[in-house]
Amino acid sequence: MSEYKGRIERRHGESTPWWPEAERARAGAPNVVIIYMDDMGYSDPGCYGSEIDTPHIDALAGRGQRFTHYTTHPICSPARAALLTGRNGHAVGTGWLSNTNAGFPGYTGEIPLDVPTLAETFRSAGYETMMTGKWHNTPTLDTVPGGPKHNWPTQRGFDNFYGFLEGETHFFFPSRIQQNNQLVAIDAYPQDYYATDDWTDRSIQFIKDLRGSSADKPFFLYLAHNAVHAPLQSKSADRAKYRGRYDEGWTELRAQRFHRQLEMGLVPEGTRLPESDPRVPLWQDTDPADRKLFARHMETYAAMLDCVDQNMGKLVACLDQLGELDNTIIVFTSDNGGTDAGETTGMFNNNRRYMGLPPATVESDRARVDELGGPRSISLYPTGWGEVCNTPFPSFKTYTGAGGRRVSFVVSWPSGLQDQGVIRRQFVHVTDIMPTLLELAGVEALKEVNGKTAQEMHGLSFADVLRSNEPSRRTEQYYECWANRAFYREGWLALSIQKRGEPIVMDNWTLHNLEEDFSEATDVSDRHPDKLAELVDAFDKAAWKNQVYPLDNRDRIQKFSDLSEKQKAAADRPRTFLPGTQTIHRADFLPLVADRSFAMSVRFTSESEDEGVLWALGDPIGGMVLFLEDGELGFHYNGFGEETSLNPVALPAGNHEVTLDYEALGGRQGRARLLVDAVEAVGWTALSPTLAFGIFEGLDVGLDRRGPVSWPLYERHGPFPFTGEIRDVKVVPGKRAKV
């Protein structure tokens, strides 16, 4: 407590009051807004060569600056950790996705408490701090209601948070929206709900609420979109705008983007467009019967980015109306580049791959083409479109080639930066954003945070690049993701790309001279062996320093399965769930039933007129629901698009216990029977594949909230709350299936 500087006597009239000076930002301090995209490729905004309509992003570039050599970690959690801390992702425990803690210092999935975030730093300087959208920097097992909250957004410096704590979610039916530390109670979303609109509307509300209380307090807003990440879902009106625009196919569209980039001066003359990935056929070599499906994928993607642009327009209009646009620093960029995960033909239900399931056939996806991009699809575009997104670069998200690590970057501050509408070619990295924003805003970096001495910041400010086109202070940077490696130094890049799930090859490096080869199209390692050896050695030193080792090339399912013995034991205990609760988090529930045998019982009382959902697990991606309708007990199983309904069972009024007895048979196959009051009512029926990780929603007791498991049931009744009385739902886990 500071020393009191007034005077206190026995009587008020003889005493002198004193008030300590409140912590305030400096007069005239700029607002700071970061609009962070998800999986958006280098060429996707119109101002980087795209055919997608992005007038507001383009206008931001017109009053700001575009960078051609900005790089990032090539996957979301590390990129976001680096953005928020100014430190390398591995060094702050986030070398891979925050879904799991792998048990190694560089892969804990959470930012250490001795590393200040942008929000903590701006708040200490008198800023209001706000965040909306995606927070993917807390291990999934810690995002449950009963988990530790020390690394949730409001504990890491944000005064207000509205969004979700996962890597992805449904755009029409987000599974869990948090308001600060509380789950927002939502049974059903409005018919016109769309997540991108919601994040922006809430951002604008935060700003207006602040201005209703304080006319001059500056704010830091982190608007973290989950667009344009899978699932690719967009509003029908936005999709209609792009109908037919991609009928020429990815081969021609990639060439057109490259040509525009040359005309814009984004790509140096003489740059070669790299050959297509071997998994990407020429458009003219694809089956004509599939082209409508392929084009629809990219129409959906374009519509998603178009919607982001519309929302940027709303946000900018709000700032302009408040008279604050000129004194607001706005950064627009992406966490990493476009992805190859949709494989050659794309996926209607992308989450099948999280389950280790083979993709559905292109014929089955083709039959549902008119649903693609809507709420029933969980789609991802074919690899050919990911290559278009990353024009002119090869490679993709999760890889350390340019397609994964080089993305578009725009910064604007009309009253603070003289050079507007210019292109900057200096090399900067995601870690450099934090020190740059702090310098521009006149905010000191924190030396202590959470009672601890702050770790060293790795980022280097590029404020002089913005102000006067000075050379970048950054000359080198390491990269690693999923055992893919790279090291950049003064125009040279060493690169090692691995095949996922196969033994790591430690010496398959290539070398690229980026001064002469902007698109990384040519390997010159045989001409410069000494330079390659220098960079490989530099990577190794940086890797040890930043907690990169051990390299881990296991597939997604193996990595997601990292659990401590304590966590495994918790998943083997029976659990009872009560009515009146909000949706049980999937991380709390799925381990009880994931690819294993189990018995799931519900005890309830019903009269002849009662009906509704007894319990529901999952959403349109996959899941199962038990319900009473027209006096009959119904059960529906959505096995990631492979749908089965058990024969309905007439159910008289009274007290009942209904049990789903599920047996996992191995190889992701399973069967189940239905017991009513301990008597078999429906015999063993194949219910495959077994459920596992890829569902967004957890368990609902007494209704089916948000995303419906059974679409026909949802169309008839909405969330369909049960009108009788439910006593409890009990799950008894059984044996895990053999692979």
Give which of 90, 623, 114, 59 is closest to 332, Cα–Cα.
59
Cis peptide before 231 (omega within 30 of 0): yes
Give dist(CA 417, CA 465) in Å, integer. Answer: 10
- Residue 356: the pLDDT is 78
Give dist(CA 530, CA 553) in Å, integer. Answer: 28
Give Cα separations from 260 to 50, 305, 535 (angstroms): 8, 19, 33
Q: Which fold has domain 566-736?
A: Jelly Rolls (2.60.120)
**CATH, domain range 31-478:** 3.40.720.10
Give which of 617, 622, 737 is closest to 670, Cα–Cα.
737
Beta bridge pairs of residue 160? 130
Residue intervals of the chain classified under CATH 3.30.1120.10 are: 479-557
> Residues 309-345: pLDDT tens digits?
999 999 999 999 999 999 999 999 999 999 999 999 9
CB atoms within 10 A of CB 579: 19
> Residues 524-559: pLDDT tens digits?
999 999 999 999 999 999 999 999 999 999 988 888
Could you please report the per-residue DSSP string of 57-90?
Answer: HHHHHHTEEEEEEEE--SSHHHHHHHHHHSS-TG
Give which of 415, 350, 419, 413 is closest to 386, Cα–Cα.
350
Residues of the chain with pLDDT under 70: 1-2, 563-567, 739
Residue intervals of the chain classified under CATH 2.60.120.200 are: 566-736
Q: If you ran DSSP here, which 8-state letter would residue 171 be given?
A: S
**CATH, domain range 479-557:** 3.30.1120.10
Give which of 76, 385, 438, 65 is closest to 257, Cα–Cα.
385
Give which of 482, 484, 493 is closest to 536, Cα–Cα.
493
| Residue with tokens 């409005």, as numbered in its chain | 190
Give the angle subtended at the CA of 164 by the CAs of 409 and 385, to the nearest 5°.
45
Give dist(CA 717, CA 316) in Å, integer. Answer: 40
Burial label for 455, CB within 10 Å (0-12, 13-18, 19+), is middle
Residue 581 structure tokens: 């609760």
- Which sign, positive or negative, has the C-alpha torsion 414, 418, 421, 427? negative
Could you please report the per-residue DSSP string of 653-665?
Answer: SEEEEEEEEEEEE
131 membership: H or E segment, kind and range: strand 128-134
pTM of this prediction? 0.97
Residue 31 structure tokens: 């607002």
Q: If you compute the radius of gyration of the chain from its CA atoms, what whole number of angstroms results?
A: 27
- Residue 606: the pLDDT is 98
Give the side-chain half-sphere CA count within 13 A for 673.
10
Count helices and strands in the chain by DSSP H and E runs? 17, 27
Residue intervals of the chain classified under CATH 3.40.720.10 are: 31-478
Q: Is 726 helix (H, G, I), strand (E, B) or coil?
A: strand
